[in-house]
Amino acid sequence: MDLSKLSALEAGRMIKNKEISVAEITKAALENIEKTDKNYHAFITLCADEALKRAEEVQKGIDDGTYTSPLAGVPMALKDNMCTKGILTTCASKILTGFKPFYNATAYSNLENAGAVLLGKLNMDEFAMGSTTETSYYGATLNPWGENRVPGGSSGGSAVAIATDQVYYALGSDTGGSIRQPCAFCGITGIKPTYGRVSRYGLIPYASSLDQIGPMGRSVGDVAAVLNIISGHDPKDSTSVNMDALNITLKNDVKGKKIGVPTDWFGEGLEKDVKEKVLEAAKKLENMGAIIEEFKMPEIEYVIPTYYIIACAEASSNLSRFDGVKYGYCTPSFDDLTDLYCKSRSEGFGMEVKRRIMIGAFVLSSGYYDAYYKKALQVKAVIKKAFDKAFEKYDAILSPTAPTTALKMGENLSDPLKMYLGDIYTVSINLAGLPSMVIPCGFDKEGLPVGLQLTGKPFSENELMNIAYSFQKETDFHLKKPVIKREV
Amino acid sequence: MKITDDMIDYISELARLRLKDEEKESARNEMEKIINYMDTLNQLDTTGIEAMSHAFPMKNVFRKDEVRPSADRDDILLNAPDKKNGAFKVPKTFE
């Protein structure tokens, strides 16, 4: 039996029923990673010894009734921007060289308390700034669905680890699409929860008003099980909402649901195959009993400039903490304190990170603050209002996730503005703080996956997941697998 | 808008970054393209619209003012590139 093909919930059930031990499944997963990851580079850090030790602990905990979660003992991994006690946390940046946090991110603590077995830390764009995972200091991650294709980003390592059956689920983070777009490019399922649903404590910040941690996995069922564990109020994150952890119960529930399709999101720039597959998915949902209705949302034209102004402004402020003094990389020779700061930062950050810090410093600088930053916050209010209006009528909004399927490596790296434009369908949702889910809905003519994006009103995760779950009950796109290259 | 070399120097100074000459050139070109694209926001009249920082109404979150242990000093210093006598070591900041 090939254990790697199980869903997270199936693996959890087999562990609970003593059909396999935690050590067995952990060993099998580590062996599989060793065979495959030279070809894909999903991991920055593999914690083989820690994982095997942890597997024994978790097995005891399951046997004595400490761990009762449906995912107890199931091997998983984290995007490398979440703090893990005593384990390298790099944000895929040179500037965090050697950084070992002394505490765990709350989302990971919650999983630990549920008996998760951490296999390692996953690759990403440096500081989550990018849409291809090519800006990682540790090198690019490859998409298993096509030769020389990017996995998307910034949570590209998380997406590939799932798509290649290396892990049963992973956590990603999403500031402007960083969970959803790699899910679409790699043919997997994921959700960016409502802002505040999951604690951000221990998530190394990019843009704090937009960042949100979320689960990525093989099906809606797996993703819902993870979200149940990681959600909930955390006194250590005062923006986490004061609500209990989710207790999602999935049901086939799409009849009579009103789903809006914003026609302005299907215009110029959207690849023909992506458009077709997404509209076919809408038709499918209609046949299943949903009410599909078109509507206008012309504010889409303004979402990218608004997002990049706000995100870069927050990044320039957040990343000021990297100074060569407290942690990570420090330049070997310097004249004075300013020189130490400037050299450590210039040598430690990659070009895309520097670019965003500088854009942020510019839009916040005196003389330009009102014209850019304040203006963007006003347009954000306009965008939020457009969503509020749509959700007066609809239970969910259906759209593409990205204008294209997985790009060729290097295609956008030389043209940052072109890369930013690829985020058109995802960024507005972070500006409005909404929950948004991506599920596979077909393949383009080259065999690359297409992702369907379903967005809901604040805190409607369960409702949203019911629609996605119903769709997966009727389709098998999420069960399709790429050919995985293994070394013998 | 035109982004000049002086502007790049000023922004780099604010950001505590020093760019090499070739990096400066490409930063100037790319920033100009990006900032000009951001100017599309000017097509939208936002007179009278209040700037929105958070998508949901946020109130200040208070907690009881009580003494609790903070992080351990040794833990905090664990990752310091340079330290001395239980503190971060930095170059002299004033004479």
Work out whether the CA dihedral B19, B21, B27, B32 comes out positive or negative: positive
Say which residues have a Cβ less than 8 Å from residue A46's Cβ, sequence separation at least 6. A30, A33, A37, A119, A120
pLDDT in tens, A1-34: 899 999 999 999 999 999 999 999 999 999 999 9
The domain covering A1-488 belongs, at the CATH homologous superfamily level, to Amidase signature (AS) domain (3.90.1300.10)
- What residues make up the domain containing B20? 5-43
* Gyration radius from chain B CA atoms: 23
- Is a pLDDT exceeding 80 seen at residue A404? yes
Cα A227 to the center of its chain, rounded Å = 13
Q: Which residues of B touch A305 (CB under 8 A)?
A: 37-41
Residues A69-88, mean pLDDT to the nearest whole number: 98
pLDDT of residue B61: 86
Q: Does B18 touch chain A (CB under 8 A)?
A: yes
CA distance A117 to chain B (A): 24
pLDDT of residue A211: 98
A226-285 residues touching B, CB cutoff 8 A? 235, 238-239
CA distance B21 to chain A (A): 13
Enter the DSSP assignment of A196: T
Domain count, chain B: 1
Residues A327-353, mean pLDDT to the nearest whole number: 97
A41-100 residues touching B, CB cutoff 8 A? 98-100
- Is a pLDDT exceeding 80 seen at residue A154? yes
Catalytic one among A7, A79, A199, A380?
A: A79
In this structure, is residue B60 part of a structural domain? no
Catalytic one among A178, A219, A316, A470?
A: A178
pLDDT of residue B73: 96
Residues A82-105, mean pLDDT to the nearest whole number: 98
> What CATH number did the domain enclosing B31 receive?
1.10.20
User: Cβ contact (<8 Å) for B79 and A336?
Assistant: no
Work out whether the CA dihedral A34, A6, A401, A388 comes out positive or negative: negative
User: Cβ contact (<8 Å) for B16 and A302?
Assistant: no
pLDDT in tens, A213-252: 999 999 999 999 999 999 999 999 999 999 999 999 999 9
- In the residue annotation, A238 being an active-site residue is answered as no
Q: Best residue in B11, B29, B92 to probe A by mutation, most A CBs within 10 Å? A: B11
Consecutive sets of 10 residues in chain B, 95 residues long: mean pLDDT of each?
A: 94 96 92 96 96 86 91 96 96 83
- Is a pLDDT exceeding 90 seen at residue A414? no
- In the residue annotation, A178 being an active-site residue is answered as yes
- In the residue annotation, A389 being an active-site residue is answered as no
In this structure, is residue B28 part of a structural domain? yes
Residues A255-274, mean pLDDT to the nearest whole number: 96
- Name beta bridge partners: A213: A173
